[in-house]
Structure 1
Amino acid sequence: MSRETMLDLDAEVVARARRLAAEAALPVVTLAKAHTTVAVERATLRLAGITGADTTHRAGDVPWVNRVVDTVREHCGLEHGSVLPVFHALREHGFGDLTELAEATAAGQVTFTVPTGKAAERAAKTARVAIAKGMRRIDRNRAQRAKLVDRIGDPAQRPWIYLIVATGDIDEDVVQACNAARAGADVIAVIRSTGQSLLDYVPEGATHHGFAGTYATQENFRIMRAALDEVSKEVGRYVRLTNYASGLCMPEIAVLGGLERLDMMLNDCMYGILFRDINPIRTFVDQRFSRQVHARAGIIINTGEDNYLTTADAVEAAHTVTVSQLLNEHFAHEAGLPDELLGLGHAFEINPELPDSFRMELAHALLARELFPDAPLKWMPPTKHMTGDVFRGHLLDGFFNLAGVLTGQSILLVGMMTEAVVTPWLSDRDLALANVRYVLNAAGRLAEDFRPAPDGFIVKRANQVLGEAVDLLERVVDDGLLTAIAQGTFGLMKRPPDGGKGADGVIVKADGYVNPASDLLDEGSDR
């Protein structure tokens, strides 16, 4: 499929759009590099091997990593990072491992201080050795994924079929996920329990009581990955696993995903800010670290531009999706993610009552495909205009699937006729998968025959959206990205840089800040 000339995009306009995105992102990257967060520090200690939770706390289980980081902050601050005080205390008190240190911390037996001189050098060296061990586990998982894909095989065709499970019980999720794989799903996304993105800790262990989803925990990741490995052998293709590296624990969940060989993770540059009211600076700091982890782990990120179109009009706001894609691309590249791991998002959300709505959907999808030819784009199904008429909904999903085939999308999230109305039944999922299979089989390689008229509606609409995106990027550069977010530029949500949840978890780095995890990630995945 020749994507370079189908829309006749002006190469200079495209290049200008990317230059503007880079210019808009630069101050935010600089800000992210100058700060750490409690979540980054916890993620670093998780890489060093800390696991488990304090089960004696009267308010419920408290992860040991939270207990340690909170105590370090109370005793000596986090401006120099957590590893110097933690590994200095480990040596000074003669603890066997970080779990012993955490237990003593909870009992009030440890006073943390920031070491200097030779003591600081020893602490940093010991920490690097421990963190490098965690990195090697991530590296082995990446290599294991490649071996399994080579041995078992990839899906025979694109787009990959992406299906959600969300029971709240990890054991039931396994049953549904394996049956979905047998029915044709290539990617299984385990939806997180409602509200987990606003928890400033990651629960421990297997869980069975989530709300409209299942808690993201390391043990749940392990259980689902093991189950999908087994069903992958059965169906003869490697079935990928997705979860959500977003919210207040974004860096930690990214690390846990790498440690348990997840394959995709939701990770968007502005989603948490706009739709969960998480502090913008906290989000950008956490995101940069998490994306470095994804790059190391070979995890495909999925961005969340589709969400803008659930709050803003999909025609009038189409250019904001393109702007966000360009920003997500730049932030991803800066963090080390190559195009093949950049699952930029977009959606089929234009009101179907509008004349030429399908033609506009094709224009927007083709624009994304041509702007990012090497990215595994994730195409989202209609939700906003689902009415409860299941026949109309099933037809809309069929049109969505056809648009995905015609425009060469990479990852197709399965739309269901009851989407956004009720929680879909298993039978709804089965019908939805049948819909996808029919379209993919019937349309086949129809994209090879699809060429919009050079001066036609689709080409003109795509170029119009690109032009509007460039105009908006110019304004974002002039005003600053944080100001643009505060003004409601994206998704109509106004989020000031000093507001939002988790703002108190942001710390300005001191000159002597030490974090071997950041150093190892900066050095690249070959170290």
Structure 2
Amino acid sequence: MTLLDLDPEVTGRARELAARAAEPVIALARAHTTVAVERATLRLAGITGADTTHRAGDVPWVNRVVDTIREQCGLEHGSVLPAFHALREHDLGSLTELAEATAAGQIQFTVPTGKDAARAEKAARTAVAKGLRTVDRNRAQRDKLVSKLGDPPQRPWIYLIVATGDIDEDVVQACNAARAGADIIAVIRSTGQSLLDYVPEGATHHGFAGTYATQENFRIMRAALDDVSKEVGRYVRLTNYASGLCMPEIAVLAGLERLDMMLNDSMYGILFRDINPIRTFVDQRFSRQVHARAGIIINTGEDNYLTTADAVEAAHTVTVSQLLNERFAHEAGLPDELLGLGHAFEINPKVPDSFRLELAHALLARELFPDAPLKWMPPTKHMTGDVFNGYLLDGFFNLAGVLTGQSILLVGMMTEAVVTPFLSDRDLALANVKYVLGAAGNLAEDFRPSPDGFIVKRAKQVLGEAVDLLERIVDDGLLRAIAEGTFGLMKRPADGGKGADGVVAKADGYVNPASELLEAGQ
């Protein structure tokens, strides 16, 4: 039963337009690769570690290899043919050995042809398939643990952030949060990591307002949450960020270390980190293929639009972005159950009927995407530093979440925009959520907005505005819409932004066994 009685012709038209708007961008993504996609592929093939002797700091071996291939013979045919050809030519035992020889200036990469190319492609395919088998085992292990330990007893799942900068301290906070009731732990990345064109190596203890996303940090936190999951009697999920210039690599590392959710939005990096649009769309397509294989729920970032644009006037841009994110995700192989579309409680509380407007927007998202695990974000823009008012506002946010059947509830903090929350702040915030869930968790069965009332009319108005905007985007092109500031008021031209020099048009004969195996589901 639906509460909004949305017109199926209107929702069908919205999805049709979203598909048409996305198609040219999908074609562009299919026709290009990036340095990050090539690095992610070699990571699946087994390359690990870093050059610790470099005078400017550690350089991951995978960066060393891909950068040298690009310099010597280009990436138009991909990285695996030159890499695995060189591996055979020099009789080396691993890609890491190849990287060491590359750093020593002992390798001259070339694009093989004929039988040499066939041998290199076969060896690469075997290596990448081995990496994907690790991803598959991790997915099966997650399913096994969920079956054994159980999921949280009710939705929404409670999502809590840790952000100390030190992975060991993160572990302490994460485990205590799980004991206090958190179902999902999100480890915030160090400020600025999304703009690094490499993934740091090893455990880290010096992040800024967050902890670096590294493979070792992923491993440490997943192991700690596995232990606390047994203690609390439910599987506690782990979230990080597959975004920025290393989006595909971090997606691969998440699959290799059994993370459960990843923030992965199709336009966030473009709008809020000024990363080149083409680079972002190419990278997100590959990363979503990896997430689909790994069974990782992605979280999209529409909530961010409402921190820069007005949450009432721009509500329809959130719906448009959700529809585009859905289309990009489906094309990359992500099913609805892994599509954690984002939206947020960001209307100015001084606006008349602000709570009714929030309910309309949340219900629209819920009914437009009935099978998606929606991620509902708390108020941030209008938190003033008055912790008592903030605590009340978060209570209203939690109530909206249970009333409208949200799936993932990020815990709001009364000290938002004041300090990095203390453990005591988190404890109070969790108490707020648990009170609302206990007192009103089943209230949705009694909630029936009037068919001719304010909430239903507002939801249908926003959907109609979304259709109108999608029609304009189909006519003008999505890249132009982004350039003109349609989403979040951020103007990002297609030829601008960071990382544009890392985009490469594929040549005839381009080879990437990771893409082939992911698309084929093998």
TM-score tier, shorter chain, comes to over 0.9
Secondary structure (helix, strand or coil) at the match of 1:463 reads: helix
Give the corresponding residue for 2:80: 83
**Equivalent-residue separation in structure 2 for 1:499 and 1:435 (angstroms):** 44
- What pairs with 1:440-455 in structure 2 (closer than 5 Å)? 440-455=437-452
**Equivalent-residue separation in structure 2 for 1:355 and 1:517 (angstroms):** 52
Do structure 1's residue 504 and structure 2's residue 501 form an aligned pair? yes
Give the RMSD, CA atoms, in angstroms: 0.4
Which residue of 129, 132, 135 corresponds with 2:129?
Answer: 132
Query: Aligned AA for 2:78?
Result: G
Which residue of 157, 160, 167 corresponds with 2:157?
Answer: 160
**Equivalent-residue separation in structure 2 for 1:333 and 1:478 (angstroms):** 22
Do structure 1's residue 363 and structure 2's residue 382 form an aligned pair? no
Give the corresponding residue for 1:215: 212
Secondary structure (helix, strand or coil) at the match of 1:162 reads: strand
Which residue of 507, 512, 515 corresponds with 1:515?
Answer: 512
Query: Aligned AA for 1:199?
Result: L
Do structure 1's residue 176 and structure 2's residue 173 form an aligned pair? yes
**Equivalent-residue separation in structure 1 for 2:41 and 2:140 (angstroms):** 22
Query: Aligned AA for 1:168?
Result: G
Query: Aligned AA for 1:287?
Result: Q
**Equivalent-residue separation in structure 1 for 2:417 and 2:231 (angstroms):** 32
Which residue of 37, 41, 56 corresponds with 1:40?
Answer: 37
**Equivalent-residue separation in structure 1 for 2:5 and 2:153 (angstroms):** 31
Q: CA deviation at 1:463?
A: 0.2
Query: Aligned AA for 1:332?
Result: A
**Equivalent-residue separation in structure 2 for 1:19 and 1:411 (angstroms):** 27
Q: CA deviation at 1:161?
A: 0.1
**Equivalent-residue separation in structure 1 for 2:80 and 2:8 (angstroms):** 47
The Cα offsets for residues 78-127 of structure 1, whole Å up to 9 and x where unpaired, read as 00000000000000000011111100000000000000000000000000
Structure 1 segments of 4+ aligned residues over 6 angstroms from their partners: none
**Equivalent-residue separation in structure 1 for 2:512 and 2:440 (angstroms):** 51
- What pairs with 1:342-357 in structure 2 (closer than 5 Å)? 342-357=339-354
Q: CA deviation at 1:421?
A: 2.2
**Equivalent-residue separation in structure 2 for 1:100 and 1:296 (angstroms):** 29
Secondary structure (helix, strand or coil) at the match of 2:165 reads: coil
**Equivalent-residue separation in structure 1 for 2:289 and 2:359 (angstroms):** 33
Q: CA deviation at 1:424?
A: 1.0
Give the corresponding residue for 1:489: 486
Which residue of 127, 143, 146 corresponds with 1:146?
Answer: 143
**Equivalent-residue separation in structure 1 for 2:420 and 2:374 (angstroms):** 26
Give the corresponding residue for 2:199: 202
Secondary structure (helix, strand or coil) at the match of 1:314 reads: coil
Q: How many residue pairs end up in the alignment?
A: 522
Give the corresponding residue for 1:261: 258
Give the corresponding residue for 1:295: 292
**Equivalent-residue separation in structure 1 for 2:494 and 2:255 (angstroms):** 30
Query: Aligned AA for 1:314?
Result: A
Q: CA deviation at 1:8?
A: 1.6
Secondary structure (helix, strand or coil) at the match of 1:8 reads: coil
Do structure 1's residue 234 and structure 2's residue 231 form an aligned pair? yes
The Cα offsets for residues 429-485 of structure 1, whole Å up to 9 and x where unpaired, read as 000000000000000211011000010000000000000000000000000000000
Do structure 1's residue 119 and structure 2's residue 116 form an aligned pair? yes
Q: CA deviation at 1:510?
A: 0.2
The Cα offsets for residues 390-443 of structure 1, whole Å up to 9 and x where unpaired, read as 000000000000000000000000001011222111111000000000000000
Secondary structure (helix, strand or coil) at the match of 2:33 reads: strand
Give the corresponding residue for 1:53: 50
Secondary structure (helix, strand or coil) at the match of 2:271 reads: helix
Query: Aligned AA for 1:267?
Result: N
Which residue of 180, 183, 186 corresponds with 2:183?
Answer: 186
Query: Aligned AA for 1:274?
Result: L
Which residue of 68, 92, 95 corresponds with 2:92?
Answer: 95
Which residue of 282, 286, 291 corresponds with 2:283?
Answer: 286
Identical counterparts, % of pairs: 89
Give the corresponding residue for 1:332: 329
Query: Aligned AA for 2:445?
Result: E
Secondary structure (helix, strand or coil) at the match of 1:36 reads: strand
**Equivalent-residue separation in structure 2 for 1:74 and 1:186 (angstroms):** 46
Give the corresponding residue for 1:459: 456
Give the corresponding residue for 1:12: 9
**Equivalent-residue separation in structure 1 for 2:130 and 2:53 (angstroms):** 30
Secondary structure (helix, strand or coil) at the match of 1:255 reads: helix
Query: Aligned AA for 1:143?
Result: A
Query: Aligned AA for 1:434?
Result: A
**Equivalent-residue separation in structure 1 for 2:446 and 2:232 (angstroms):** 31
**Equivalent-residue separation in structure 2 for 1:296 and 1:7 (angstroms):** 34
Secondary structure (helix, strand or coil) at the match of 1:391 reads: helix
Do structure 1's residue 408 and structure 2's residue 405 form an aligned pair? yes
**Equivalent-residue separation in structure 2 for 1:517 and 1:425 (angstroms):** 43
Secondary structure (helix, strand or coil) at the match of 1:507 reads: strand
Secondary structure (helix, strand or coil) at the match of 1:241 reads: strand
Query: Aligned AA for 1:387?
Result: T
**Equivalent-residue separation in structure 2 for 1:522 and 1:354 (angstroms):** 47
Do structure 1's residue 419 and structure 2's residue 416 form an aligned pair? yes
Give the corresponding residue for 2:384: 387
**Equivalent-residue separation in structure 2 for 1:421 and 1:45 (angstroms):** 42
**Equivalent-residue separation in structure 2 for 1:422 and 1:352 (angstroms):** 22
**Equivalent-residue separation in structure 2 for 1:509 and 1:388 (angstroms):** 51
Secondary structure (helix, strand or coil) at the match of 2:120 reads: helix
The Cα offsets for residues 204-257 of structure 1, whole Å up to 9 and x where unpaired, read as 000000000000000000000000000000000000000000000000000000
Give the corresponding residue for 2:64: 67
**Equivalent-residue separation in structure 1 for 2:63 and 2:139 (angstroms):** 28
Q: CA deviation at 1:375?
A: 0.2
Do structure 1's residue 23 and structure 2's residue 26 form an aligned pair? no
